[in-house]
Amino acid sequence: MEPNETFIILDGFMDLEKYRALYFIIMFTAYVLILCSNCTIVCLIWIHKDLHEPMYFFIAALLLNSVLFTTALYPKILTDILSKQVVSYSTCLFQWFTFYAIAGAEFWLLMMMAYDRYMAICKPLQYPTVMNKSKVNVLLAVAWIVPACQVAITITAASQRKLCTFIFRGIICNSTVYKLHCVQSAALHIWGIFVLLNLTFVPLFFNCFTYSRIFIITTKRGPEVRRKALQTCLPHLVVLFNFCWLGTFDVLLARLDAELPKMVRVIMSFQLILYHPLFNPIIYGLKMKKISTHLKRLFCAGKNNKVLM
């Protein structure tokens, strides 16, 4: 432990002494389910050659993003539940970075998926040439690197600010850490708005525009084309809507933190870190026909093996 290390008290859990076991069981169970469900579909996409298409590579990247998110946050949360809710400022900044870098990557991956669907449905003749393996790799790299770099600038600037308050009203560090600073930075606030617009509203606008174009074009091509387009686009739209809905929780936590009761803050925080990583594999596992088929074969094979034993 460094002698000059700054520590922050996490005051996000409600009645921790009373509900410690319940909190731990919920978080640990969720962590295992998130890892198992997401990794299962990622492995299926990796193993089966009929899933080696750009759309499924983007789905695998999205699910891998959920694994990275939970692995970066959950072990520390579980440790906090079992011990003292104290975190070093450097660890707090890392949580802040992880939370928004991966959330931003989620929006950008969904934007890349919208672009992929647009090319596949609206420009099918150009699709094999445009969405080749190297292009997919570049899009995936951009989706992860751009958000990480922008959030890293925010964290670097925040790390230079002096703290006057050491009690954080939350279970993981996010943008509300700036409320602990002695003096609010106008430059940091402006940069934060820019990052918010670039990582969320730009991808959201692109998604709305792209799926609108897909709907307009497929409407002109007949009901059968529209039905097939809806089958592949609907899961992405559901995931996008769900993530945007949960994203509003973070905004509300940041803006209304002082006015929100502790129970409400706990529930909203749990929604952010529990619900979405579990929601994605369920949607793609049930709604994507090829993935659903492979999942059924996997579980049926497992049942047959048990019968034989």
Q: String of b and e for 120-150 (b: at least 16 CB within 10 Å)?
A: bbbeeeebeeebeeeebeebbeebbebbbeb
Pairing of strands 86-88, 167-168: unpaired
Q: Model confidence over 282-302: pLDDT tens digits?
A: 888 877 888 888 888 887 765
**Domains identified in the chain, total number:** 1
Look at residue 240 in the predicted model and tell me its pLDDT.
Answer: 86
Residue range 200-211: average pLDDT?
90
- Residue the block writes with tokens 């579909």: 41
Whether pLDDT at 51 is above 70: yes
Look at residue 153 in the predicted model and tell me its pLDDT.
Answer: 93
**Residue 85 domain boundaries:** 7-308
Residue 111: closest CA among 203, 238, 202, 196: 203
User: What pLDDT band is residue 110 in, cutting at 50, 70 and 90?
Assistant: very high
Whether pLDDT at 46 is above 90: yes
Residue range 248-273: average pLDDT?
70
| 2 located within any domain | no
User: What pLDDT band is residue 309 in, cutting at 50, 70 and 90?
Assistant: very low
pTM assigned to the model: 0.88
Look at residue 174 in the predicted model and tell me its pLDDT.
Answer: 82
Residue range 261-271: average pLDDT?
74
CATH code at 34? 1.20.1070.10
Query: What does the DSSP 8-state code read for residue 64?
Result: H
State how far the Cα of 144 lies from the Cα of 65, in Å rounded to an integer.
Answer: 9
Ranges 58-62, 168-172, 222-226: which has the least confidence: 222-226
Residue range 141-170: average pLDDT?
90
| 1 located within any domain | no
Pairing of strands 86-88, 7-10: antiparallel
Whether pLDDT at 152 is above 70: yes
Q: What are the tokens at 167?
A: 């009690």
Residue range 198-218: average pLDDT?
89
User: What pLDDT band is residue 156 in, cutting at 50, 70 and 90?
Assistant: very high
Look at residue 307 in the predicted model and tell me its pLDDT.
Answer: 45
% residues pLDDT > 70 (the chain): 92
Look at residue 175 in the predicted model and tell me its pLDDT.
Answer: 81
State how far the Cα of 296 lies from the Cα of 102, in Å rounded to an integer.
Answer: 30
State how far the Cα of 58 lies from the Cα of 5, in Å rounded to an integer.
Answer: 40
State how far the Cα of 85 lies from the Cα of 105, in Å rounded to an integer.
Answer: 28
Whether pLDDT at 49 is above 50: yes
- Residue the block writes with tokens 């870098």: 101
| 123 located within any domain | yes
Look at residue 308 in the predicted model and tell me its pLDDT.
Answer: 46
Q: What are the tokens at 309?
A: 């034993």
User: What pLDDT band is residue 264 in, cutting at 50, 70 and 90?
Assistant: confident
Q: Tell me the sheet residues that pair with 9.
A: 86, 167
Q: What is the signed CA dihedral for 120, 123, 128, 131, rounded to 10 degrees?
A: -70
Whether pLDDT at 252 is above 70: no
Residue range 232-251: average pLDDT?
80
Q: If you average pLDDT over every residue of the chain, what do you get?
A: 85
Q: Are 54 and 140 in contact (CB under 8 A)?
A: no
| 237 located within any domain | yes
Look at residue 254 in the predicted model and tell me its pLDDT.
Answer: 65
State how far the Cα of 211 lies from the Cα of 114, in Å rounded to an integer.
Answer: 7
Cross-sheet strand order for the sheet of 7-10: 86-88, 7-10, 167-168
| 24 located within any domain | yes
Q: What are the tokens at 9?
A: 């008290």
State how far the Cα of 234 lies from the Cα of 290, in Å rounded to an integer.
Answer: 15
CB atoms within 10 A of CB 200: 21
| 195 located within any domain | yes
